[in-house]
Amino acid sequence: EPEVTQTPSHQVTQMGQEVILRCVPISNHLYFYWYRQILGQKVEFLVSFYNNEISEKSEIFDDQFSVERPDGSNFTLKIRSTKLEDSAMYFCASSDGVQIYEQYFGPGTRLTVT
Amino acid sequence: LAKTTQPISMDSYEGQEVNITCSHNNIATNDYITWYQQFPSQGPRFIIQGYKTKVTNEVASLFIPADRKSSTLSLPRVSLSDTAVYYCLVGWDSNYQLIWGAGTKLIIKP
């Protein structure tokens, strides 16, 4: 069964540093998403991406964040100047756009900012 | 925006059928009802989706009454590995994205 993959599984960084989280969505999917989940809290939508551009973004997704699809397979989330409160699980997801409620999530990257 | 209400937690035992009910009184006409499952330290996983009546797949059944103001996820013969958080999602937010609540933490005991 095809799956979404994410690297790294755990990233530790110092406050103020930049991190790039990587995702490989399912190959024939057209919509890509980033979510975050602070420990013990709700899943929070960050951004959706379609046709090589951001389609929607939440209030959380400010200038500190950016996304890119540098090639035909990777989808990245860059977080600049990380803060302690950016510590969370970051999930990438993709969907085929037909079953719009059915998103396939990756295993997540645990980001720890110290 | 359709707000959902579901129990914070539930306990059951292996081999039992578990029913998790979600209330969504202000569901819109074009809203679908979707359930996801999330194991600890993993991403959510789509379980089932429905619009009305009953939907069944290899994992679960979803019962939706005629007024669609609630829905019940039914897990037959649960095992320890069904211990997870179950999310009921209805409709979209202002960004046309899924609305995630706190979910129901289901604990299955031996």
Q: Which of B41, B49, B97 lies at the smallest CB-CB distance from A102? A: B49
CATH number at residue A64: 2.60.40.10
Q: Which of the four pLDDT bands, split at 50, 70 and 90, describes residue A9?
A: very high
DSSP A84: G
Task: Show the domain range for B87.
Answer: 9-93+101-109
In a domain, B87, yes or no: yes
In a domain, B3, yes or no: no
CATH number at residue B58: 2.60.40.10
The pLDDT value given to residue B85: 97
Whether B45 contacts chain A with CB within 8 A: yes
DSSP assignment of chain B equals: ----B--SEEEEETT--EEEEEE-TT--TT--EEEEEE-TTS--EEEEEESSEEEE-SS-EEEE-TT-SEEEEEESS--GGG-EEEEEEESB-TTS-B-----EEEEEE-
In a domain, A108, yes or no: no
In a domain, A52, yes or no: yes
Whether B35 contacts chain A with CB within 8 A: no
Q: Which of the four pLDDT bands, split at 50, 70 and 90, describes residue B46?
A: very high
In a domain, A113, yes or no: no
Per CB-CB distance under 8 Å, the chain A contacts of B49 are 99, 101-102
Identity of residue B26:
N
In a domain, B21, yes or no: yes
In a domain, A45, yes or no: yes
Is the confidence at residue B41, as pLDDT, over 90? no
Q: Which of the four pLDDT bands, split at 50, 70 and 90, describes residue B93?
A: confident
In a domain, A79, yes or no: yes
Count Cβ atoms within 10 A of the Cβ of residue B54 and give its class: 0-12 exposed, 13-18 middle, 19 or more buried.
Answer: exposed
* Percent of chain B at pLDDT exceeding 70: 98
The pLDDT value given to residue A59: 92
How many beta carbons lie within 10 A of that of residue A21, not counting itself? 23
Q: Which of the four pLDDT bands, split at 50, 70 and 90, describes residue A73?
A: confident
Q: Which of B43, B96, B101 lies at the smallest CB-CB distance from A105? A: B43
3-state helix, strand, coil in chain B (%, to 5): 5, 50, 50
Q: Considering its fold, how many domains does chain B have in total?
A: 1
In a domain, A50, yes or no: yes
B44 token code pair: 């959510």
In a domain, B85, yes or no: yes
Q: Considering its fold, how many domains does chain A have in total?
A: 1
Task: Show the domain range for A79.
Answer: 5-97
Question: Chain A window 40-79: which residues touch B at a Cβ cutoff of 8 Å?
Answer: 42-45, 48, 56-58
